[in-house]
Structure 1
């Protein structure tokens, strides 16, 4: 336990493959920009300067985007998770589900806000969605955070969750449902959120894509007080949060 206390919690880099590819593209622009200054003959040197400057500008733009995404993963998403949890106004006695919990960023923060309640995280732990995505990492993070006794981790798919109807008081999700490739399957995931929520239960879904579709799906499935909050720029790309309640 003493060794755990000395460890630092690590919630990884979101979309690590995307960040890597953007950095590689930036490196390519940099090399092309430098090369352009030298490969053109003297009579066309002006063209090399123009192309070189365009490439160097492109290098700066894509590098800034990659750095923004890294900052989002290391700083911005921590602030945004608090906004997400504020929107569901936990009392402390609820049973909370985090869909696509990853390494436990929102899951553990929810557990910190609970007293007699419980936070359950479900995921398939796809490493393309988050670096080092693994249930053992999630368990270790909950131990380091000191909330393991209030956390349960479940291996499962958002489209067919292994929970009974009306089991949870609150369902949250952050940057997860957009990873489901088809609109029909994303609708199934939203349907599952509604199925496992108790009547009157609250939900908050944070994402940077498809939020209007989520809101319409919730309305179709009988949710009330559905609204979209945002956009917020603490995460890149900017995110919105869909909130509401399960109707009667």
Structure 2
């Protein structure tokens, strides 16, 4: 049977329409990689016009463009795989109630929900588009539906420094690159205290944030909290913005 170009295009289009939608988690702080990439491009273009400092300018451009690629890999793919790994390491039984602080479009929330067939994953966020592109509760719920876990996901508009949940409500509290967005150190400490307040005795707190922020959190939480670098897959441009995982267990 003869296959025409139009029929091949039609079949390919039908295949795309038949595929179930996939969650789309957006880009973290989208203005940052845009500026990084623009600066890298400008350096590379300038190196072709300048004689003096040509090598240095070209090198700077290459470094900036490489950093842009590393950033985009982390935000689009790297962090997803790393959180899948860390949630596996958390040893969830499948019936826990989990809270994700600053859930955004649902990277951690949805990965956790997939491991909670008899539990529930609750997300809390203020839905800032500056911190993540297209950040809206409707988007998070659509991503949960695309992942097949909408029946075990809830989202709330809530401030991390004053959570609308009772003491000892959750078995696990997670947060990914969210607490550092609170402008004051006092506010960050309040968010940590709130996370521990709503966590049940024996429950675990898992926070991924920039290494320098995670160190401050660990100092505030004190004894029993541990820090572990998450590797190049969670670098926002390079090792200077590497992400560290803080883990703490609430005393019984």
TM-score, length-normalised on structure 1? 0.88
Q: Check the 8 A contact 1:4/1:144 in 2, yes or no.
A: no
Q: Check the 8 A contact 1:88/1:203 in 2, yes or no.
A: no
User: Offset of 1:179 from its aligned partner?
Assistant: 1.1
Q: Which residue of 2 aligns with 1:156?
A: 158
Q: Structure 1 stretches of 5 or more lacking a match?
A: 37-47
Q: Check the 8 A contact 2:22/2:147 in 1, yes or no.
A: no
Q: Which residue of 1 aligns with 2:72?
A: 70
Match of residue 239, structure 1, among 240, 243, 246? 243
Match of residue 219, structure 2, among 192, 216, 228? 216
Q: Structure 2 stretches of 5 or more lacking a match?
A: 1-16, 236-240
Q: Check the 8 A contact 1:228/1:240 in 2, yes or no.
A: yes
User: Offset of 1:231 from its aligned partner?
Assistant: 4.5
Cα separation, 2, equivalents of 1:118 and 1:241:
23
Question: CA 1:153/1:64 → structure 2, altered by over 3 Å: closer, same or farther?
Answer: same
Q: Which residue of 1 aligns with 2:3?
A: none
Give the superposed CA RMSD.
Answer: 1.6
Q: Which moved more, 1:232-241 or 1:152-161?
A: 232-241
Q: Which residue of 1 aligns with 2:122?
A: 120
Question: CA 1:14/1:164 → structure 2, altered by over 3 Å: closer, same or farther?
Answer: same
Deviation digits for residues 166-188 of structure 1 (CA, Å, limit 9, x no counterpart): 11011011111111111111001
Q: Which residue of 2 aligns with 1:30?
A: 44
Match of residue 97, structure 2, among 95, 98, 109? 95
User: Offset of 1:206 from its aligned partner?
Assistant: 0.6
SS in 2 for 1:146: coil
Is 1:173 aligned to 2:172, yes or no?
no
User: Offset of 1:5 from its aligned partner?
Assistant: 6.0
Cα separation, 1, equivalents of 2:206 and 2:86:
7
Q: Check the 8 A contact 2:82/2:230 in 1, yes or no.
A: no
User: Offset of 1:68 from its aligned partner?
Assistant: 0.5
Cα separation, 2, equivalents of 1:168 and 1:105:
19
Q: Which moved more, 1:65-74 or 1:83-92?
A: 83-92
Q: Which residue of 1 aligns with 2:5?
A: none
Deviation digits for residues 121-178 of structure 1 (CA, Å, limit 9, x no counterpart): 0011111111111111100000000001100000111111111111101101111111
Cα separation, 2, equivalents of 1:6 and 1:176:
30
Cα separation, 2, equivalents of 1:5 and 1:217:
47
User: Offset of 1:226 from its aligned partner?
Assistant: 1.5
Cα separation, 1, equivalents of 2:100 and 2:130:
19
Q: Which moved more, 1:236-245 or 1:114-123?
A: 236-245
